[in-house]
Amino acid sequence: MGEGPTILSRREIEALIPHRGAALLLDAVTELSLERLVATREVPVADRWFDGHFPGDPVMPGVALVEAMAQALLVLHRRNYPSALVLYLAKVKAQFHAPVRPGDRLTIVAERVRFIPDQGLGSARVFVDTRKVAEAEMGFSAARERA
């Protein structure tokens, strides 16, 4: 799963979404259509999360898995609407099935449910090998200025 050729490199992903450095949780995209995206992430042993989550029993936080799924959906949205950039996560319904450990290789599968230029609804799943470790339904939209 997720073993195909690289379609988008990390640098090409950076051209689509504003996340940089440690905040970018996608290493490559290996499948990309208007309906579906498959991305990968090598979870570094020295990742900053593992210092405190949890010492002696390191686990990648669920919020980081949600962020990786959201980033995959944002790249998919940009594939559909290249000039639109949605960043505000409006709703998340997530489930976690197994821990992610240092050194794991994640495969993130994101699928379009309904996209329009300034918002979207999508679903995503995260796998380690063939084991599903997390899944979510997410709604997102363009940030609105506060009055």
Concatenated DSSP letters for 90-105? EEEEEEE-S---TT-E
Q: Which residues contact 113 (CB under 8 A, 6 or more apart)?
A: 120, 121, 122, 123, 137
Question: Order of strands, edge to edge, in the sheet holding 105-116?
Answer: 28-32, 36-42, 105-116, 119-128, 131-141, 88-96
Report the length, in residues, of the chain. 147
Tokens 């979870």 correspond to what residue?
Answer: 43
Measure the CA–CA gap between 26 and 17, rounded to whole angstroms: 11
**What amino acid positions are annotated as catalytic residues?**
53
